[in-house]
Amino acid sequence: MSTVIPIRPVGAVRRGAPRHTPKGRQTSPQARERVAALCEGLAPRTDLLIEHLHRLQDAEGALRHGHLAALAERLRLSQVEVFEVASFYHHFEIVDDDAAVPATVVRVCDSLSCSMAGSATLMHDLQAALANDASVRVQPAPCIGQCHRAPAACVGQRQLPHATVDAVQALLASGDTGPRELPVPEASGLHQLQRLLSGELSADAVLAELKASHLRGLGGAGFPAWRKWETVRTQAGPRHMVVNIDEGEVGTFKDGHLLTSAQAGAPQVLEGLLIAAQVVGIEHVWLYLRDEYHDARRLLQRELTALDARLQALAAQYPGYRPPRIELRRGAGAYICGEESALIESVEGRRGLPRLKPPIVAFHGVFGRPTLAHNPETLWWLPEILAHGGAWLASHGRAGRNGLRRFSVSGRVKRPGVYLAPAGITLRELVMEHAGGMADGHTLYAFLPGGASGGILPAALADVPLDFDTLSEHGAFVGSMAVVVLGQNDRARDAALNLMRFFEHESCGQCTPCRAGTTKAVQLMQAPVWDAALLAELSQVMRDASICGLGQAAPNPVDSVLRFFPHEVGA
C-alpha cells in the first residue's frame, strides 16, 4: 500500500494561526521602560552598543535577557547582534530575567606578577571567608594593571593593591566599591597647541621636530610616529584617531600610571592628542580605555568636560580652528582589543575581532576612514618635544639608542613601579639604578623584557640593551616595556604556563591556529615532561597562520623555555 502525499499548488500559502508578534523573545513594556531609563542621555546609535551594555550591567549587576531584547529594539538591531557582542566581552554577564546576581564581584588577578605574590592563596582564602555571603562572588581575573602592587584585586569598581582577606572584607563592609575621585592633576596651559594655532609653529615644523626626536609608538610595535602622521595626513578626509589605552599585556601598567599622575598626566596626553589632530587633520578622536581603569575613566571624564570649554575659547580666539570631537569609550575586558583593528571593531560597537590586513588602519580604520592610532605615552611626549626640541629627546639614551622610555617593573625587585629611563638601558641597570635591586633573598634568574608576549630571557642576557630591535636575535622583544623579574626560586616553565593560560583565556577565537593552538599548548605544558618537538611544531603553525599578533606571539614564552631553560622541561 503506498502513501499518497498531497502536492500543494505553486504559489499556495500554508495557512495557520496568524502571528501577532515578531519572531524571537518578546519585549515587555517593563523591560523597555527600564532600558530607556538606564540609557537616558545616550544616543541610540549602534556604535554605542557597548556603552549601553555597560549602563545595564552597572545598574543590574548583569545583563538580563529581557533587557537585551529591549536594547535590541531600541538600537534597531537583531537580538542576536546584541547577544553576540554581550557574550564576547569578559566583564558582561548574561542571566535570566529572574536570576539573582551578587551585589559585588571580587576579581582576584591570577596573572604572573600576582601569581608570584601569592594570588592563588588569596583566592582560596577569600572564597572560604565569603562562602556564605550570597551578595559577593569571588572569581579569578587576568591582569588588572596592578602588577607593581601584587597581589591585587578589583572589588566592584575599586582596585585594591596589596590585597588581603581583611582588606577585601573591610572594603565590602564600607560599601565604598566605586571608582575613586583622584586629585585634580596639574593643568596643562595648552601652550604648545597655541603656538601651533597662532602660526608660531607650522605643521611641517612640528613634523620636523617629531622626526628629529626619533619618537616611536610606545604601545608595543615601536613604529616611527612621524611616519604614521605622514601616512594618514596624505589620505583624503575625513580622518580619525584612536588612542589605545587598553593596556592588558601581563606586566604592563605604565599608561594607567601616566594618566593618573598628578604631574600633568592626563592633561598633557590630551594636549598631545590635540597637537596630533591639528597637524594630521583629524576630525574625530576616540579614547579607548580598559575597563579595569575605573579611576582613570572618572578622571578623564572630568578632564574632557573642562577641556571642552577651553577648546570653545580657542575656537573663538582662532577663527579657523576646528577642534576634533573627542569621545571616551570604555572597554569591557578583552585583551584582544589592544590590537588596533580589534579596538576599532569595538569602537564601532562590535566584537573585538582583529581585521585581516591589508588594508592597514592608516588607510581603512574607524568607519572605513583613514585612522591614526596612538598610545597615550606617545602623545604625552609631544608637548615635551615641542617645548625642548626633538634633538633634546634624541640626546638621551644608551648603547646607541635614542630617547627615554617608561618601564613597568614588577616581580622580584625591591621597588616595583614605573620608571623613566634611557632607551637602551639594560635589565641589570634598570633593576639596580631604578628598582632598588633584587628583593631580599632573591637573585636574578630570568626576566620578561616585554610582557607576556615578549619572551623569557635568562640572567645571562641581563646586559643586553632593552629597546626596540635589540632582542630579536634572542627570540624576544621589548614591546610595551613591561619587565617582570624572576628569582632563583621561580621556574621559567611555570611562568610560561601562566602566560599561555592567559593567552588561551584572551584569544578571540576567530582563527583556529590561535584558538586551538593556545588550548593545545596549555595541555602539553602541564605534562611533567614537555614534548619539545610537538610544542615547537605547534609554535610554528601559530606563528605562520594566526591572524593577529596574539596568536603569532603567544608561543614566545614556550620557545624561550625550550631555548634557554631546557633543564626545566625534562628529558
| pLDDT of amino acid 4 | 62
Q: Which CATH architecture has domain 29-95?
A: Orthogonal Bundle (1.10)
We find that the CATH architecture of domain 191-391 is 3-Layer(aba) Sandwich (3.40)
Domains in the chain: boundaries = 29-95, 104-174, 191-391, 414-568
Read off the DSSP letter of residue 449: S
Q: For the domain bounded by 414-568, which CATH number is listed?
A: 3.10.20.600
Report angle CA 157, 161, 165 to the nearest 5 degrees.
90
pLDDT reported for residue 222: 81
Q: At 192, give phi and psi (nearest 5°).
A: -70, -35
CA torsion 268-158-220-499 (nearest 10°) is 170
**What local confidence, expressed as pLDDT, does residue 113 receive?**
97
pLDDT at 19: 60
Q: What's the confidence (pLDDT) of residue 9?
A: 63
Give the end-to-end CA distance of the chain in Å, rounded to a whole number: 72
User: Across 43-143, where does the E strand assignment appear?
Assistant: 63-64, 94-95, 104-109, 136-141
What is the rounded average pLDDT for all residues in the chain? 94
104-174, which class in CATH?
Answer: alpha beta
Tell me the per-residue pLDDT of 458-489, one tens digit each, with 9 for 90 and over: 999 999 999 998 999 999 999 989 999 999 99
**What counts of helices (H) and strands (E) characterise the chain?**
22, 15
Q: How far, in Å, CA of 373 to CA of 238, rounded?
A: 15
**CA–CA gap between residue 102 and residue 127 (Å, rounded):** 14
Strands 282-289 and 371-374: unpaired
CB 559 within 8 A of CB 552: no
Low-confidence ranges of the chain (pLDDT < 70): 1-24, 571
Predicted pLDDT of residue 410: 98
Helices (H), ranges, 434-554: 492-506, 512-525, 532-545, 549-553
| CA nearest neighbour of 495 among 552, 565, 415, 548 | 565
Residues written for the chain: 571
The reported pLDDT for the residue numbered 17 is 63
Rounded to whole angstroms, how far apart are CA atoms 445 and 464?
Answer: 15
- Which residues in 280-290 are b (16+ Cβ under 10 Å) and which e? bbbebbbbbbb
